[in-house]
Structure 1
Amino acid sequence: MTVTVPRSRIERMAAEIPLDDQPQPLRELRSFDGFYRREYREVVGLAYALSGSRIAAEDIAQDAFVAAHKRWEQVGRYDQPGAWVRRVAANLAVSAFRTRVREAGALARLKPRSSYLPPMPDEDAEFWKAVRSLPHRQAQVIALHYLEDRPVADIAEILGCAEATVRVHLHKGRAGLARRLGISPEEQP
């Protein structure tokens, strides 16, 4: 029974870069260590130019050299193995850019839209802090009633409860706010 191990993205990208049609066994296999020391700085420079990030460039270069090391028996016999590594690095940089664009779009969709909200006046901050300290359902009813000017019927529909329940939560919420804010019942709106 043969088990297929899924290849990583880097290995797949490296495999897509064509090797010579016929291996050329007559070429001498170069030392990977020497190759790495000679080429690393330039490959990082290329990756930096394509990615704009030093950290990303180092990651891209490392991934490209890992791919070369895994295939060194073939890549090491090329006339210019550095060209192969640079191509892998360039492909990885493009993939990294596409990933960042997708991630930025996803983050933008998830980011709170606080820029759409006007700043809360300081005198309201204490009131809304007190609202947040109320029981959950009372806070919801108070917010919908005072912030959005919703009538009891709308609040009941939004919260999925009876209008009488909304009136009870509104009454208890107002009483709780009066206690927390030190307001007498006559002063309540």
Structure 2
Amino acid sequence: MPAPPRAVSGGKQVVDYEEFYRREFGRMVTLACAVSGSWLTAEDVAQDALLQARQNWDRVGRYDQPGAWLRRVTIQLASKRLRRARVEAAALLRLGSTPTPLPPGPEEVETVLAAIRQLPRQQRAAVVLAYLEDRSVREVAEIMGCAEGTAKAHLFKARASLARILGEGDQR
């Protein structure tokens, strides 16, 4: 049984960091994988995001939704890793070398993740938050730092693209 949140001055509740870590780590790995497109770096990204949360826990732990802050940091870190990987891949191609392929996961999961990886970064993040984490459009918008209408647009475009991508795979 997890410990109840501890009270702090000003009436705010702070969740115990260890409880927060246990609850959020797996979710952040999934989010980081969907955004960065790499299972190999997702765990590192999740660890880095949770480390930032730990280093700032006196402040983050007092937020109404510390998980939203963590998701925003995770998306930013995963996006940064993705940009870095693209630059490295381009450099390897210029040098005539090819990057090592990622090990495949279970076929169905890999098919869906491959389709999600084809989406633009904001659509990938919105899909993971809404469908893998079962968050409302309002929560998606808050976490991504955009208007609800923008979050809805990301989700609408992502669903249309995923239907097209996954539909094409079924016809082969």
> TM-score under structure 1 normalisation?
0.45
In our comparison, the structure showing a higher alpha carbon Rg is 1
TM-score (ref. length: structure 2):
0.49
